[in-house]
Structure 1
Amino acid sequence: MIRLHRIGHDHAELYLNCQLVQQVEACPDTTITLVTGSKVVVSETCEQVIERIRAWHASVAAAALAGDVDPAAVARR
């Protein structure tokens, strides 16, 4: 999950399952559309959202390559 902030609520954190992201667009606020059809408007830029998604995927890949992933623990999430 990645940490974001809803627009207008800069002090309240929102954790988003980035595996559900279908698209990220600026119109003009950054709007994230999920595969469920839900939309979330956040204060971060499109570039920041994309970088956080990339970093999350990289951290998962790095943990898997290092052998730090317990398949049973992942299945319980």
Structure 2
Amino acid sequence: MIQLTRLNGKSFTLNALYIEVIESFPDTTITLTNGHKYVVKEPQQEVTMKISSFYRDINVLSLKKDTEVFGDE
């Protein structure tokens, strides 16, 4: 889940697994797989970084290539 802010200043939590499209119109608009749309204050790049962090937290994305792996294999 990622924390975002609506244009009216109210924060909410969104399940990033259901995000299909992120666009800037110039406001950042997030479209979910079910067709629901959310317009948020955060810029598109920040939303993308939050999604990537969420995916790493739940182990959907693997470690980056430059990240050290424990052990001498």
- Short-chain TM bin: 0.7 to 0.9
Match of residue 23, structure 1, among 21, 24, 34: 21
Task: Output the CA distance in 2 between the equivalents of 1:50 and 1:24.
Answer: 8
Residue identity over aligned pairs, in percent, reads: 35
Q: Which amino acid aligns with 1:23?
A: V
State the Cα distance separating 1:8 from its structure 2 match: 2.3
Task: With the length of structure 2 as denominator, give the TM-score of the two structures.
Answer: 0.78
Q: How many residues align?
A: 60
| Structure with the larger helix share | 1
Instruction: Give the superposed CA RMSD.
Output: 1.2
What residue ranges of structure 1 are gaps of 5+ in the alignment? 63-77
Task: Output the CA distance in 2 between the equivalents of 1:61 and 1:54.
Answer: 10
What residue ranges of structure 2 are gaps of 5+ in the alignment? 61-73
Name the larger-Rg structure. 2
Poorly superposed stretches of 4+, deviation over 4 Å: none
**CA offsets, 1:30-53, max 9 Å, x none?**
000000100000000000000000
